[in-house]
Chain A
Amino acid sequence: MPGTFKRSPLKRPERPYIALGLEGSANKLGAGIIKHDSDGSTTVLSNVRHTYITPPGEGFLPQDTARHHRQWIHSVIKDSLKQAGVEIHDLDCICFTKGPGMGAPLQSVALVARTLALMFDKPLVGVNHCVGHIEMGRQITGAQNPVVLYVSGGNTQVIAYSQQRYRIFGETLDIAVGNCLDRFARVINLSNDPSPGYNIEQEAKKGKKLLPLPYTTKGMDLSLSGILSTTEAYTYDKRFSQTVEPSPESDTITPADLCFSLQETVFAMLVEITERAMAHIGSKEVLIVGGVGCNERLQDMMGIMARERGGNVFATDERFCIDNGIMIAQAGLLSYRMGSVTPLSETSCTQRFRTDQVHVAWRA
């Protein structure tokens, strides 16, 4: 309704608030400290991360990932406090990822959050990982009410805000886009350092031809498992060679060509369903969050689409795109300022926790 503004229910803080956020729902372990000041500003005081990197061809398993988190969490938290120049006593609350994610890694971090809360008598705030991504993206980019494309190793969702919920408009019907890219990286033995997705992106830059792959959008949803298996099938093709240089003329198929084709096809589908959601709700802004959101080709394609619509794309760099602790601190502190804390008895983690289950009390 033009002319009428809904007032944000979030009151300006009467004093500075500081929160610690802990994240470990997958293979990244993060701790971050955020400040909401009484002048209305938000400052990232620190954002520390340690990633569990597996050898090429291998994914990360829950138990090993949890072990990694247990091993590193003390130094990650200590670093975050030191860099922020604050003491645990200064914190208003401790925020942790309640879900969704892998069970064992989630629990290993929640346990530490609970222990700190009891030791230092601090309130706990359980945070939905996806909402963390969205709130951090909004904070960093200043996007007001964007359609959100959330693309990570475990999730692929097109989200729009309405009536205090982040509603899911479209999503993958099978595997997540990050998972699709990571699994293909493993098929062709790309390194997992810094991330398989990053290495797919670099490889794709050398690709010279577009191979036909299934294009499977279904309304605002999409399916990716067929694309993964078709791409993989090309590696058994007679024309496939890991040693030949990519070339547009020859009929050889190289790993670079496959990375290129996979990205072009999958990203075109993502941009298409995002555009549908934008048309559906009449929005011009799009915000990309989640690890795959670092991919510059995806950002470019989304930017072209958004500008054609007279709008804009908002994205963040790897500090905020890739799982991190600061996003948990941000979403947790927003919720805390609305008076919400998680009683100890409700701090268990949940592998399933849909984005639209969260009551977004801090938005109008």
Chain B
Amino acid sequence: MATASLIADSTQIAQGAEAVSDPPSRNTTRKVYKAYIHTSFDSDAKVPILLKHRFKKQYRHPSLDANLTRARVAGEARALLRCLRSGVSVPGIRMVDATEGVLGVEWIEGKSVRMLLGGGAEGEEEQVSDSEEFFDDTTDAGGESVSHVDPLDEYQVTIDEIMGLIGSEIAKMHKADIIHGDLTTSNMIIRHPFAAKGPSPTKLVLIDFGLAYTSTLVEDKAVDLYVLERAFASTHPDSEPMLFAVLEAYKKGMYKDWTTVERRLQDVRLRGRKRSMVG
């Protein structure tokens, strides 16, 4: 089958920014591959695409799994299409095979916002206190000997600029009544400056519309933002000023619609705290 052989010929890439330092085999949520396809029938030129394969989840009941997979691939493609039509910066669609669970999109050369902000996922190791070496004081946290280039410089972008782009792209998306459903800093890519050729494409690209859906409800937009807030807070220490900048840009983009979303966002935050009422 064509989809299967396309996958067979492609290279699996580490599952996103989530696990950038891990071997690809560890990823199980969906597998992501970089593949090459011909640009046209009569040319040898090939372009990279990103293939996202949702494979069977063994823990899930088979018919539930099959339905979800189909619905999610189709839903993701539909959401991307709607974004593209509304001028939201997202990857273009290259192929869809819902039954096989495969979606192919334009390859974006770049780094996730999460990584640019240094929100890596170093496993924090802990030493349990009952071992002897615990009491000796010789281990040092390690001197900062490795010098490295600030990725923000390499990407010719500032944190403020990134936050502004996040806010304005989300506003465009919400104006088109698309709810992303998984707004995290892993799901936003900053294009590498060398790859950003063409008629000044937006530096920031929103990706991963796997949980996206359309809705006109203020509630859904507010929850979308709340998910982002919480993702920021849990991955980036001192995220408040960053979030503030995101919301400022979002506010500009939403224009008249901002006040209702803002009010609802406050409700959602409050509910978030109230949810721990009963133990």
A26 at the interface (CB under 8 A from B): yes
- CB of A151, distance to nearest CB on chain B (Å): 12
Could you tell me if A5 and B278 are in contact, using CB atoms closer than 8 angstroms? no
Question: Could you say which of A97, A162, A309, A352 contacts B276, with CB atoms under 8 Å apart?
Answer: A352
Could you tell me if B277 and A100 are in contact, using CB atoms closer than 8 angstroms? yes
What are 18 A-B contacts with C-beta separation under 8 Å?
A8-B128, A12-B129, A12-B134, A25-B279, A102-B278, A163-B237, A168-B234, A171-B275, A173-B223, A219-B211, A221-B223, A268-B59, A271-B60, A279-B18, A279-B29, A282-B19, A301-B59, A304-B58
Contacts of A6 in B (CB 8 A): 124-127
Could you tell me if A5 and B127 are in contact, using CB atoms closer than 8 angstroms? yes
B interface list, Cβ under 8 A from A:
15, 18-19, 21-22, 26-29, 57-61, 63-64, 67-68, 121-130, 134, 139, 141-142, 181-184, 186, 211, 223, 227, 230-231, 233-235, 237, 271-279
Q: Among B22, B59, B125, find the residue whose CB has the most chain A CB atoms closer than 10 A.
A: B59
A169 to B277, CA, bound (A): 18
Could you tell me if B139 and A5 are in contact, using CB atoms closer than 8 angstroms? yes
- CB of B232, distance to nearest CB on chain A (Å): 12
Contacts of A186 in B (CB 8 A): none
Could you tell me if B278 and A101 are in contact, using CB atoms closer than 8 angstroms? yes
Size of the A side of the interface (Cβ < 8 Å), in residues, is: 76
From B272, which residue of chain A is reached at the shortest CB distance? Answer: A171
Question: Could you say which of A7, A265, A268, A309 contacts B28, with CB atoms under 8 Å apart?
Answer: A309
Chain A residues 293-331 with CB under 8 Å of chain B are 300-302, 304-305, 308-310, 323
Q: Interface readout for A183-219 with B: 1 if CB under 8 Å, 0 if not? A: 0000000000000000000000000001010010111
Could you tell me if B183 and A3 are in contact, using CB atoms closer than 8 angstroms? no
A244 at the interface (CB under 8 A from B): no
From B271, which residue of chain A is reached at the shortest CB distance? Answer: A173
- CB of A212, distance to nearest CB on chain B (Å): 8
Q: Is the interface of B mostly helix, strand, loop or mixed?
A: loop
Could you tell me if B126 and A144 are in contact, using CB atoms closer than 8 angstroms? yes
Q: Interface readout for A159-175 with B: 1 if CB under 8 Å, 0 if not? A: 01111000111011100
Could you tell me if B121 and A364 are in contact, using CB atoms closer than 8 angstroms? no
- CB of B52, distance to nearest CB on chain A (Å): 14
- CB of B183, distance to nearest CB on chain A (Å): 7
The 6 lowest CB-CB distance pairs between A and B, nearest first, are: A40-B130, A154-B278, A101-B279, A282-B121, A25-B279, A304-B59
Contacts of B21 in A (CB 8 A): 282
A130 at the interface (CB under 8 A from B): yes
A11 at the interface (CB under 8 A from B): yes
Question: Could you say which of B58, B141, B278 contacts A308, with CB atoms under 8 Å apart?
Answer: B58
Could you tell me if B18 and A145 are in contact, using CB atoms closer than 8 angstroms? no
Could you tell me if A364 and B277 are in contact, using CB atoms closer than 8 angstroms? no
Q: Interface readout for A252-281 with B: 1 if CB under 8 Å, 0 if not? A: 000000000000110010011001100111
Question: Could you say which of A217, A283, A305, A355 contacts B211, with CB atoms under 8 Å apart?
Answer: A217
Contacts of B68 in A (CB 8 A): 215
A99 at the interface (CB under 8 A from B): yes
For the A-B complex with A173-B223, A275-B28 known, give 7 more contacts whose Cβ atoms are closer than 8 Å. Answer: A25-B279, A26-B278, A97-B279, A210-B61, A265-B64, A282-B18, A309-B26
Question: Could you say which of A5, A155, A272 contacts B279, with CB atoms under 8 Å apart?
Answer: A155
A14 to B39, CA, bound (A): 72
Contacts of B22 in A (CB 8 A): 282
A229 to B259, CA, bound (A): 32
Contacts of B211 in A (CB 8 A): 217-219
Could you tell me if A364 and B122 are in contact, using CB atoms closer than 8 angstroms? no
A246 to B130, CA, bound (A): 54
A70 at the interface (CB under 8 A from B): no
Could you tell me if B129 and A145 are in contact, using CB atoms closer than 8 angstroms? no
Could you tell me if B277 and A352 are in contact, using CB atoms closer than 8 angstroms? yes
A78 to B134, CA, bound (A): 38
Could you tell me if B125 and A4 are in contact, using CB atoms closer than 8 angstroms? yes
Contacts of A129 in B (CB 8 A): 279
A8 to B126, CA, bound (A): 6
Decide: A155 near B61, CB < 8 A? Known: A279-B27, A363-B126: no
Question: Could you say which of A169, A220, A280, A282 contacts B123, with CB atoms under 8 Å apart?
Answer: A282
- CB of A291, distance to nearest CB on chain B (Å): 11
- CB of B135, distance to nearest CB on chain A (Å): 8
Could you tell me if B279 and A152 are in contact, using CB atoms closer than 8 angstroms? yes
Contacts of B126 in A (CB 8 A): 5-6, 8, 144-145, 363-364
- CB of A6, distance to nearest CB on chain B (Å): 6
A63 at the interface (CB under 8 A from B): no
Could you tell me if A172 and B275 are in contact, using CB atoms closer than 8 angstroms? yes
Chain A residues 78-104 with CB under 8 Å of chain B are 97, 99-102
- CB of A296, distance to nearest CB on chain B (Å): 13
